[in-house]
Each structure stands twice: as structure tokens, then as C-alpha cells.
Amino acid sequence: MDIKTLKSKGERGFLDGHFLIAMPGMADTNFARAVVYICAHSDQGAMGFVINQPQQMTFVDILLHLKVIGDEDAIVLPDAARSMPIQRGGPVETGRGFVLHSDDYLTQSSIPVSDEICLTATVDIIRAMSRGKGPAKAALMLGYAGWGAGQIETEIANNGWLTCPADETLIFDRMLDGKYNRALALMGVNPAMLSMEAGHG
């Protein structure tokens, strides 16, 4: 199941444009202390991106791997491109890159995921970003998180996730450390209290 299929259904699931915030007792280690932005949700399933797990790979590494730039070009990259963190978007298709970005930059393959945010998974946007001509706000992920029909609803019912409306500022915040606690703060939840409550379950 991919985002085009989910979006083409024309349905908006109740989790579209929401964060999933992993509970302390999350059994799946892929999602320990994860904050997931859900891009598409329908009765067919759900797709989203973890927005707070760093990758070892750098943006320069990706540009060199895709042959967008040569070694000699790496030193003249714009600072914004050089400092962009690469995130682990989820455990599915981890070799594939995805860019969540503001809607001020679009290609023919860009898919709107909300009124202000788009998803593009082609090299064009990487090339534009390397020249400082890409979107004003962007987050680059390798891989994504996906759930089959009814799976995410079951996980929420089993107390695996908290949910709240997504916050664009948090999605594009490059400071990945502490993003989990900041997501909980959107809900007025103190992480220490959450841990205590989980311990009494």
C-alpha cells in the first residue's frame, strides 16, 4: 500500500494529518519513543513518517550517492543543505528517500498530504535543495511507516499510541533530540507522568 493508492481513494481517515506518539510500553523497537506524522489514512491502511529518529547518513552522502554532485562540489553546498539531518522515516523501504516539504515547491510527482505540506520522492527535489532552490521547509526521510487495514486502529485501542493533530513546526524542526517530549507537550502530557502511569498498568 502506497500513499498514492491511499490518497486516490478520496477518503480522509480520522488520523490524516495527526501525530502518533509511542507509549512507553511500545513493544515494536522500531517505534520506541517515536513520533509519527500520518500522511494518509483510510480503511485500506495508513502511511506516515517517523520525524524524530536520526540517520548516520548525511545530505552530502545522499547527493554523492545519487551523483547529484561530485566530490569537488560538496564544499560549496549551501549551509542549509549541508546541515540538513537525514531521518529514519520508518522500517519499510529503508533505501528509498522521501521529502516532506512546504507547498512553495512542487514537481509533477509531488503529492499534497495536507493544506500546507507535500510529499515528493524524486531526485528533482534533492537536486533543487542542493542548489538552495528547494522548498522553504523540508524534512528528508529514508523509509516510511505503513500499516495494513485496521492495524493502526487496533494498536491505538491496545494503548500503543497517543494521537493529536500534527504541528507543522515540529515536523520541520531539525532538532530531533527532545522532539518526543515536545510532541507530548502539545497534548499537555508530562513524559514523567506518562512513565509512572505506564508502570501501574
pLDDT tens, position by position, 176-197: 999 999 999 999 888 787 764 5
**pLDDT band per the 50, 70, 90 thresholds, residue 8:** low
Domain ranges, residue 146? 3-199
Give the pairing type, strands 54-58 and 85-88: antiparallel
What pLDDT score does 145 carry? Answer: 97
Percent of the chain whose pLDDT exceeds 70: 86
**pLDDT band per the 50, 70, 90 thresholds, residue 201:** very low
| pLDDT of residue 105 exceeding 80 | yes
At residue 67, the 3 state secondary structure works out as coil
**pLDDT band per the 50, 70, 90 thresholds, residue 81:** confident
| pLDDT of residue 199 exceeding 50 | no
* Residue 38, all three cell numbers: 500520518
Instruction: Return d(Cα 187, Cα 177) in angstroms, integer.
Output: 18
Contact between 80 and 70 (Cβ < 8 Å)? no
What pLDDT score does 115 carry? Answer: 87
Which CATH number does the domain housing residue 118 bear? 3.40.1740.10
Strand segments, DSSP code E, in the chain are: 18-22, 35-42, 45-50, 54-58, 85-88, 92-102, 111-112, 117-120, 138-148, 161-165
What pLDDT score does 30 carry? Answer: 92
What domain count does the chain have?
A: 1
